[in-house]
Amino acid sequence: MKIVFATHNKNKLKEVAALLPHIELLSLTDIGCTEEIPETATTLEGNAIIKANFVTEKYGYACFADDTGLLVNALDGAPGVYSARYAGEHGNAEKNMDLLLKNLESNSDRTACFKTLICLNLNNQQHLFEGVCKGEILKERHGDEGFGYDPIFKPAGFDTSFAQMTLDQKGKISHRGLAVQKLIHFLQSL
């Protein structure tokens, strides 16, 4: 079965492809889609739907798209749906982490969670899958694996940050891994 994963992010594609060995996973580049799909919704679910619909409507492929946010409790769920652009439109992972650490400086509550929503368009039907990983924001960066906020996020029940884990270890417990496992379960039940 051929399914498009609507992302330009090579790290994410690698993470998800490792979890879906039985599916021919196509990237946006593979189908000739080089444009950036606008993420204009105010919810993770809304953005996942926009991205999956864009590919299915324009290219005619079965497609799934995800949207992820880091929700920090002491910051009322920020950066949330704006996680990629927390430090500004042209922000990057380093600037985003710097800003988050600064905004949490005087806070003793460092609990947070990553949440992923996946929208799958298959055979004219839409399906949603959610994955949540609870944890806390560390006071400084640890490790250099992964991407995004990985160096400052420690999942609950573990002693290391996401950035100190292998792809395999992270995939088993991460928000995206859990949402993808639900997607896999669904695809296997067809």
d(CA 147, CA 115): 15
d(CA 124, CA 121): 7
Choose, by CB under 6 A, the member of 37, 72, 113, 176 that binds ligand IMP.
176
Span near ligand IMP by CB under 6 A; candidates 56-64, 118-126, 135-143, 147-155: 147-155
Choose, by CB under 6 A, the member of 80, 131, 135, 148 that binds ligand IMP.
148
164 binds ligand IMP (CB under 6 A): no
174 binds ligand IMP (CB under 6 A): yes
Whether 30 is catalytic: no
26 binds ligand IMP (CB under 6 A): no
Count of residues in contact with ligand IMP, rule CB under 6 A: 17
Determine whether 97 is exposed, middle or buried from the number of CB atoms within 10 Å of its CB (0-12, 13-18, 19+): buried
Output 26 or 148, the one with its CB closest to ligand IMP.
148
d(CA 66, CA 43): 12
Catalytically active residues are 67
Contacting positions for ligand IMP (CB under 6 A): 12, 66-68, 70, 83-84, 93, 96, 146-150, 162, 174, 176
